[in-house]
Amino acid sequence: MSETRERVGTACPSCSPDEPTAHEVLKPGGQATVRCTACSHVHKVKIETQREVERDVVVSQDGESFTGTVEAPPDETVEVGDEFVLDTEAAIMLVRITGIEIGPEERTEEATMEDVATIWTRAVDNVSVDVTVHPTDGNRDQSRTVSLQVPGDHEFTVGEVESFGDERFTVEGIQVRNGTDYRFDKFDHEGDMVFAKDVKRLYARDETSDAWSVW
């Protein structure tokens, strides 16, 4: 099995002195030995290593919260709404930034990692979605609420029937969470679609009994 070597982009004195090309790092260090992948020329080059900063990340998931850390270049810009993969002791998960703390009781919508104290996030790879289910006779007093665990990229579409275990319903309206890129905070037109990770609440018509109507 061939060894997978680190690759860097740098100029090659043999075939590309003015433009960077891909090189394999044969021997790392301050003056690294590299080999051009285009012409196989071996030469030495100084590889600059960028300093990274470590910042605390608070993750909210299903009403609970826990902490992790992330490393990034100090000049990298982060903003509310960004998503990134976070490796924690519990699991590797996709999270979305909901707040950026740059000082005691001081938050902002955007900052460089150098200025960040804590990043507040919400897990979005698997999410909990609350659904208000109305009976078919329209009696809202008999409505009930169910909570679904679904992948964050699951698509809920107004007018479509959804089935989860014993639950079966038609989506009639979708309330969207704050801090998303959607133009409206509620959708109720046929064909409107919202990803589960962006849903604050679904409004639906119960179809459970209809599943047995053929009998």
Phi, psi of 50 (to 5 degrees): -85, 135
* Among the ranges given (47-51, 98-102, 207-211), the one the predictor scored with the smallest mean pLDDT: 207-211
For 115, the token pair is: 């200025």
Tell whether domain 127-212 is in CATH 1.10.3470.
no
pTM: 0.68
Q: Is the pLDDT of residue 83 over 90?
A: yes
Report pLDDT digits (tens) over 138-156: 676 788 999 999 999 999 9
Report pLDDT digits (tens) over 167-186: 999 999 999 998 777 888 99
Structure confidence at residue 213 (pLDDT): 40
Structure confidence at residue 209 (pLDDT): 64
Report pLDDT digits (tens) over 112-125: 999 999 999 999 99
Alpha-carbon torsion (115, 66, 92, 182), positive or negative: negative
CB 143 within 8 A of CB 132: yes
Q: Which of 60, 188, 80 is nearest to 128 (CA)?
A: 60
Contacts 24+ apart (CB under 8 A), 33-42: 34/8, 34/10, 36/12, 37/7, 38/12, 39/12, 39/14, 39/15, 41/12, 41/13, 41/14, 41/15
Structure confidence at residue 4 (pLDDT): 62
Q: Is the pLDDT of residue 74 over 80?
A: yes
Cα separation, 130 vs 164, in Å, equals: 13
Report pLDDT digits (tens) over 27-58: 887 789 999 999 999 999 988 766 789 999 99
| Burial status of residue 28 (CB atoms within 10 A of its CB: 0-12, 13-18, 19 or more) | middle
Query: What mean pLDDT is reported for the chain?
Result: 88
Instruction: Provide the residue ranges of all domains of the chain, joining segments of one domain with +.
Output: 7-46, 53-124, 127-212
